[in-house]
Structure 1
Amino acid sequence: MTKILPTSFKGIRAVVFDMDGTLCLPQPWMFPAMRESVGLTDKSMDILTFIEKAPSSLEREQALQRIEAVEAKAMREMIPQPGLVPLMKYLSLKNLSKNVLTRNLLPPVTHLITSYIPIEYRHFDHIITREFKPPKPSPEPLLHIAGLLSLAPDQIMMVGDSYDDMKSGRQAGCVTVLLRNPANSPMLDHGEHSSLIDVAVDDLSEIISLID
C-alpha cells in the first residue's frame, strides 16, 4: 500500500468501484480490440466520443454492436480480482454503500456480481454504466451517485485502475484509491497523474484497513 496524499478515511460512507481491471482482473487485449473493431487508430481519441461522431445513426449502432461483441468475449473470460469477496463482505457488514461506475454495459457487471460475489454480499446501491452522459473522466457520474446517496463527495471513495477513474474521483472531490497493476504503476511516478491519487493498493482487501 502506498499513501500519496495525507487523506483521512474515517468519514467514508460509500465506495464506488470501476469494473474492468478493478472488480475483475485486467484484460489488456480488450480495449485495443474494441478500438480495432470500430476502426479507431487515433490513440488520443476516446472510443465513445469517436462513435458519437459517426456520420449516421446506423453507423453508430453498428459500432456499438462491434464493441459489445468484444465486451461479451471479455465477460466470458472474466476473472475476479483478488480480495474481492473479503472486501464485499466487510463493506456489507459495516453497512457501507457499494456502487459501480463503469464505461461498460450492465450485463458484464451483473455477470461479475452474480458469478463471483456470495449472495449475501451482492447488493449494490447504484450501478452507473456508459449510458450515463457524460461518462468518466467527467466528475458528473460520481456527483450523481453522491446526490442519490445524499452524501458529500468527500464521504465517497472512488476505487479504480485508470487515469479516468482517478481524474473523475479527484474532480468530484472523492477520496481516490488506485488498484495498482504493471500497466498503471507509472502513474505513481508522473507528477500530474500521481496528484490524482490518495492511496495505491495492490489488493482490494487492503481497502479494509484504510477504512477500519
Structure 2
Amino acid sequence: MSKVPGIKHMRSIKALVFDMDGTLCLPQPWMFPAMRKAIGLEEKSIDILKFIDDMPTEVQRVKAREGIHDVEEQAMMEMEPQPGLVELMGYLTTHAYSKSICTRNVITPVNYFVSKFIPVGFNLFDYIMTRDFRPTKPFPDPLLYISKELSIDASEMMMIGDSMDDMRSGRSAGCVTVLLKNHVNGHIMTDHKEFVDYPIDNLSEIIDILEKINRESKK
C-alpha cells in the first residue's frame, strides 16, 4: 500500500472525490443490515457485493440484486443532506476544484440526491463511479481511474468518506484521506487511524483543510 505524503511535502489538492451514503448524505445505519437480511448474508465479515458475485447461478444473483435494490430504493427516499454540504459545494465550484463521486451504490440514488440537495450550478461532478465499475472500493481502482482521466497524480486528490472502504481505497491509491465522523464509525479513529489524514465532524471543515494544504504546498 502506498503511503500518502505528509503535509510538509504534499502537493496542492486539485480534485475531491466523495463517497455518497453517510458522506454527502446523513448515515442510514439500518440500510446495510437490511441488505444482508434481504440476501441471506449473516456473516458480517463478508462483503455484500462479493457475496452476490460468488453466488453459483445467475438466477440467484439477479434475485439478490433485486433484494438490495429494494433496500436502496427505500434509503433513497429517506436521504437527508449532510450539514455543510451546500457551503462546501459552493466553495469547490467557485474555486474550480474538480468534484467526483465514488460510491458502491447505483446511479439512480446518486442522481436523485445530487438533483434534490445540491443547488444547480454547484452540482456538476466530473466523474460518478458506481458499483458498476469493478473492482470498486476498497480497491484503489476507481480513484486511480479518476486521477488518470483528470491527468493529475493521485496525491493531488482528496478522498472523503465515512467508512473503512473509503479510507482503504483512498490510502492505497495515494490520495489524501478525510474521514467524516459519525456515531457509528468511531472505531476507525480508534483502531485504524493510520488510514486517516484528517478526521472531520462537518463537511465545511474541508474548506479550511484545503486552504491549509495549498498554503503549505507553496512553501
TM-score bucket (shorter structure):
over 0.9
Q: Does residue 195 in structure 1 map to residue 163 in structure 2? A: no
Q: Distance in 1 between matches of 2:134 and 2:200?
A: 29
Q: Counterpart of 1:184?
A: 185
Q: Counterpart of 1:68?
A: 69
Secondary structure class of the residue paired with 1:99:
strand
Q: Counterpart of 2:160?
A: 159
Q: Distance in 2 between matches of 1:53 and 1:85?
A: 39
The residue type equivalent to 1:121 in the other structure is F
Q: Counterpart of 1:94?
A: 95
Q: Counterpart of 2:18?
A: 17
Q: Give the superposed CA RMSD.
A: 1.1
Note if contact 1:7-1:198 (Cα within 8 Å) is conserved in structure 2: no
Q: Counterpart of 2:215?
A: none
Unaligned 5+ residue runs, structure 1? Answer: none
CA distances 1:96-118 after superposition (whole Å, capped 9, x unpaired): 00000000000101111000011
Could you tell me how far 1:6 is from its partner in structure 2? 4.2
Could you tell me how far 1:7 is from its partner in structure 2? 2.6
Q: Counterpart of 2:84?
A: 83
Secondary structure class of the residue paired with 2:63:
helix
Unaligned 5+ residue runs, structure 2? Answer: 212-219
Could you tell me how far 1:194 is from its partner in structure 2? 0.6
Note if contact 1:10-1:211 (Cα within 8 Å) is conserved in structure 2: no
Q: Distance in 1 between matches of 2:81 and 2:11?
A: 27
The residue type equivalent to 2:197 in the other structure is D
Q: Distance in 2 between matches of 1:131 and 1:33?
A: 21
The residue type equivalent to 2:201 in the other structure is D
Secondary structure class of the residue paired with 1:121:
coil
Q: Counterpart of 1:204?
A: 203
Q: Distance in 1 between matches of 2:127 and 2:16?
A: 11
Q: Counterpart of 1:133?
A: 134
Could you tell me how far 1:58 is from its partner in structure 2? 1.1
Q: Counterpart of 1:168?
A: 169
CA distances 1:115-172 after superposition (whole Å, capped 9, x unpaired): 0011010100000000011010001111011111111000000000000000000000
Could you tell me how far 1:186 is from its partner in structure 2? 2.1
Secondary structure class of the residue paired with 1:118:
coil
Note if contact 2:11-2:155 (Cα within 8 Å) is conserved in structure 1: no
Q: Counterpart of 1:44?
A: 45
Q: Counterpart of 1:59?
A: 60
Note if contact 1:157-1:174 (Cα within 8 Å) is conserved in structure 2: yes
Q: Counterpart of 2:214?
A: none
Could you tell me how far 1:183 is from its partner in structure 2? 1.0
Note if contact 1:91-1:97 (Cα within 8 Å) is conserved in structure 2: yes
The residue type equivalent to 2:205 in the other structure is E
Secondary structure class of the residue paired with 1:80:
coil
Alignment: residue pair count = 206
Identity %: 51
The residue type equivalent to 1:81 in the other structure is Q
